[in-house]
Structure 1
């Protein structure tokens, strides 16, 4: 990765340590440089939460926000649901870092592991009610965003997770998908910014069991 990233982003690196130091080990803080979404992570603290490291890619939500241009109307997103690679529930927030032209050049992301808090809440709720309710589920929601973010470690993980959720929405086995349905899946993945990642075409081709040329053809429809 080219470490000569924008000087504006360099000023945010101390904030990564600052925020992580204040909130503690249950708070992962990540700085993304969007000049290269394949290796966007330039600083990260408390990465035991997601298992990611410097040089890792942008998340599925980050790609979607970049593709849709949501940052043009908002300066940040607060308290939206996230999920770690090992399925722990997170509360996440993202600050959009823009240059003087209003172009998005980076993201400062905070992911708080709710495991301990949810366990404590379940115990307290059960204690107050006189019993432990096994059907308890977290109802944490985001203020501005309700798209679950998957903190994947690699490009393949991001592509496969996004494709899997898209295919599940059709409720049709993969082997029975028609060409039109596959075109729809490719277009949905494109809308979600998946093809901003290098190698995404190859991964999607493997998932849909078609050639890379076919995926490119679907993208042009």
Structure 2
């Protein structure tokens, strides 16, 4: 049985969860073996604007590259952002085969934009200024996670490239070989080259040829 066939049994669960959680919660089933068209099923897709056949997110690519799914079964309550800037509270469950290989993910994205606005209003109303207040700085132990929910592959690639390029204050044409290698290394770690067209888009952004980018990638191995 193919991984796609194994994932089909989760489609009714997606529909069920979408109805139970309500219209403010999007539920998505991803097929990890088809990154460019990974969305197998989706409930309440109006939250992100995505549909069946859409691609994975930048976070999914990162998880595939760093292998963090091997040591855990899910990640909960991290921040997500939709293309129209909705703030989302997101969680993802890892679907693995009998050998522990990741084959799919069920992701829940709840729109909390209005809740945050109400919270900010209440915080402002209840604010009391106190002198000599010490702030706690204890480490929570939780890993910082963030996700962009893009509608198509081009948007996913663009979001990842922009996030890395923003770290540099100089234009691509003035970057040194070492700096361009650093950019490619960071993009590789984020999984951008797992998507079709990733190499070409990175080449355009760095004002380089596809061949040059492939050469950089090979140097990283």
TM-score band (shorter)? Answer: 0.7 to 0.9
Residue of structure 2 in register with 1:67 after alignment: 65
Match of 1:39 among 37, 47, 59: 37
- Note if contact 2:27-2:43 (Cα within 8 Å) is conserved in structure 1: yes
Q: Does 1:50 align with 2:41?
A: no
Deviation of the 1:209 alpha carbon: 1.3
Residue of structure 2 in register with 1:194 after alignment: 192
- The 1-side partners of 2:145 and 2:174 are apart by 28
- Note if contact 1:78-1:144 (Cα within 8 Å) is conserved in structure 2: no
SS for the counterpart of 2:56 is: coil
SS for the counterpart of 1:112 is: strand
Q: Radius of gyration: which is bigger? A: 2
Residue of structure 1 in register with 2:133 after alignment: none
Deviation of the 1:10 alpha carbon: 1.4
Q: Does 1:122 align with 2:120?
A: yes
Give the TM-score, by structure 1 length: 0.88
| Structure 2 runs not aligned, ≥5 long | 129-139
- The 1-side partners of 2:178 and 2:152 are apart by 29
Aligned pairs for 1:127-138 (under 5 A) are: 127-129=125-127
Q: C-alpha deviations, 1:71-101, integer Å up to 9, x for none?
A: 1000000001111111221111000000111
- The 2-side partners of 1:80 and 1:25 are apart by 19
| Structure 1 runs not aligned, ≥5 long | 131-141
SS for the counterpart of 1:66 is: helix
Residue of structure 2 in register with 1:106 after alignment: 104
Residue of structure 2 in register with 1:137 after alignment: none
- The 1-side partners of 2:203 and 2:60 are apart by 22
- Note if contact 1:83-1:151 (Cα within 8 Å) is conserved in structure 2: yes
Q: C-alpha deviations, 1:160-219, integer Å up to 9, x for none?
A: 111111111233333322221111111111111111101111111111111111110111
Give the TM-score, by structure 2 length: 0.88
- Note if contact 2:31-2:40 (Cα within 8 Å) is conserved in structure 1: yes
Residue of structure 1 in register with 2:135 after alignment: none
99-108 or 6-15: bigger deviation:
6-15
SS for the counterpart of 1:42 is: strand
- Note if contact 2:153-2:195 (Cα within 8 Å) is conserved in structure 1: yes
SS for the counterpart of 2:46 is: coil
- The 1-side partners of 2:86 and 2:197 are apart by 28
